[in-house]
Structure 1
Amino acid sequence: MENQSVVRRQRLKRRARRVARRVLPFVAALFMATPLAGPVMGSGNKVKAQGMEAKLPSAKNLQTAFFNQRLHDLYRDLNVESQGLRYNVFEKAMTGYLNLQHNGQLSDDKQLLTVVDFELPSTEKRLWVLDLEAKQVKFHTLVAHGHNSGENMATNFSNENESNMSSLGFYVTEGEYIGKHGRSLKLQGLDEGYNTNALARSVVMHGADYVSEDFIRQYGRLGRSLGCPALPMDQKDEIIEAVNGGTCLFLNGPDQSYSSKYLNEDVAMNTLLSANS
């Protein structure tokens, strides 16, 4: 038992050194920014170093700094800012991805994250499939929203059957099937009150002729689905093949009331720290 205790202490020390190396720049920056009080002359000409103790940042602050730095580094490496994916949307998507990973709800075989930003108009490429392991964008393309969600801009969202609206939030992809739109992919909605009726509503990923540059040139916007994130016909097979079987999909939109238990930053931070220990 004594040898095991020694080995465990050594492992903890090595881990602490690795974390310290990563967060040292943040500690230094916070330390330099902390004002120090000057010496105070007391009786007997004794100098009292009142207030000379600099407060080091807490472990939580260091974790937060490390988490934010890692997300910014990944965002930079993926080079998605130039493609129109805003950092705040990426941050939410990654937070949810890490929460789902922590819960064991994602496949271990595919480190893929699909992000759809319905705050952008349908005329812009607003779907990204991100390979987080390779730090590459696998796909960046057009995607349609629901008929009753809006014209070019999606402004209304619903979890209700026959609403013909898109549903925001986090999904996990399931299996493929052949339906009226050909090759399609089932989506399991995870956010209670926002998208949990997706399977019952047959909200799936499929291809559609109305998702194309030609349609935009003719009508000034994409066509619209019955609530499905519909894809271009010339890319739908490749995308469905890539993301099927337990990967994360996040649909973002301009709904200030949206909330999710998967946006727990503490869980995301701990998951990321554990992966890098």
Structure 2
Amino acid sequence: MKNVMLVVSACVTAFVALVGFQKLEHPLQFSQFTTQHLVDSTQQKPDSLPQWQRVYNSLRLKEAGLSLEGFRYAWAGFQKEKFTKSILAIADFSQSSRHKRLYVIDLKENKLLYNTYVAHGRNSGEEFARQFSNKNSSYQSSLGFYRALSTYQGKHGLSLKLQGLEENINHRALERAIVMHGADYVSEEFIRRTGRLGRSQGCPAVSVDDTKKLIPLLCNGAGLFLYYPDNSYLKNSKLLAGLEEEIQTDFRSQPYTSLKNTN
């Protein structure tokens, strides 16, 4: 009987060892999971992140729908151009016009001041902006960086002149009368009726109510960046020259799509 018990005990031990061996049959999978977990944890430590990403995280811009890549480009161009105001407005045209895709940020005070609707040009697309142009009468939006100039009273009421800062990309903005102005087609009511925001002749139009606070805030020196992940723009922008490799390295390990961007 004692021998039988010893045999049974040995069999049980061997079975447990076999099960344990099967669970560890793919040790690399466990190693990869642990490594990824550590990378994610490191990315959450503020001291290990570049300043632009600390700002992005602290303002919870991902939750607000702003593309991480779009903010990275906006930050780089804003630092290089050295605007006289610390205010940066970003229109994230990778998002649907149904979403609040205009972000106005005070980079000195580290505050998201406004998040609201903004229209794109009628020939850039319907719900989504897909095509962009610097040509007269194209009725398309032009990507890139702008400097907010003076205000004036026009056919749309209070309006803001915009200087396109990028040669062959948006430098005809003043010639094309590309301005920020109010429009009744920039409203939630218009979205409910049509399924999208209304469209402009190429201007980054906002609601009439928003002009009262946005235009005085931006005028005379703030920056405006119209973003879309367009390869032609990224290749030809002199303001972003030399940053492409650095930026691509940043996103190779952390691809991101706006939480709001649904087709």
| Shared fold per TM-score greater than 0.5 | yes
Q: Over alpha carbons, which structure has the higher Rg? A: 2
CA RMSD of aligned residues (A): 1.7
Kept in 2: contact 1:142–1:211 (CA 8 A): yes
Name the aligned partner's letter for residue 216 of structure 2.
E
- The 4+ residue runs of structure 1 with deviation greater than 2 A are none
Q: Cα offset for 1:254?
A: 3.8
Asked if structure 2 preserves the Cα contact closer than 8 Å seen for 1:115 and 1:251, the reply is: yes
CA distance in 1, matches of 2:217, 2:142: 22
Kept after mapping to 2: 8 A contact 1:96/1:264: no
1:185 and 2:160 correspond: yes
Alpha-carbon distance in 2 for matches of 1:96, 1:197: 19
1:260 aligned residue = 237
Q: 2:174 aligns with which of 187, 192, 199?
A: 199
Matched with 1:144 is 119
Q: 2:198 aligns with which of 217, 223, 227?
A: 223
Change (3 A) 1:263 1:121: same
Aligned to 1:117: 92
Q: Say if 1:191 and 1:67 are closer, same or farther in 2 by CA, change over 3 A.
A: farther
Residue aligning to 1:153: 128
Contact 1:184 1:206 in 2 (8 A): yes
The residue aligned with 2:216 is 241
SS at 2:163's partner residue?
A: strand
1:157 aligns to what SS in structure 2? coil
Deviations 1:113-165 (A, max 9, x none): 11001111100111000011111111100000001111001111100000000
Counterparts of 1:25-40 in structure 2, within 5 Å, are none
Maintained 8 Å contact 2:67/2:92 = no
Q: 1:229 to 1:240 in 2, by over 3 A?
A: same
Percent identity of paired positions between Structure 1 and Structure 2 = 47
Render the CA deviation track for 1:42-96: whole Å, top value 9, x for unaligned.
Answer: xxxxxxxxxxxxxxxxxxxxxxxx9952111111122211100121110100000
The answer for the alignment partner of 1:81 in structure 2 is: 62
Q: Could you say which residue in structure 2 is the equivalent of 1:95?
A: 76
Give TM-score, length-normalised by structure 2. 0.72
Hey, what does 1:20 align to over in structure 2?
A: none
CA–CA distance in 1 between the matches of 2:152 and 2:132?
26
In structure 2, the partner of 1:167 is 142
For this pair of structures, how many residues does the alignment match? 196
TM-score by length of 1: 0.68
Q: Which amino acid aligns with 1:263?
A: L
In 2, Cα distance between equivalents of 1:228 and 1:93: 19
SS of residue paired to 1:81? coil
Q: Distance in 2 between the 1:83 and 1:146 partners?
A: 23
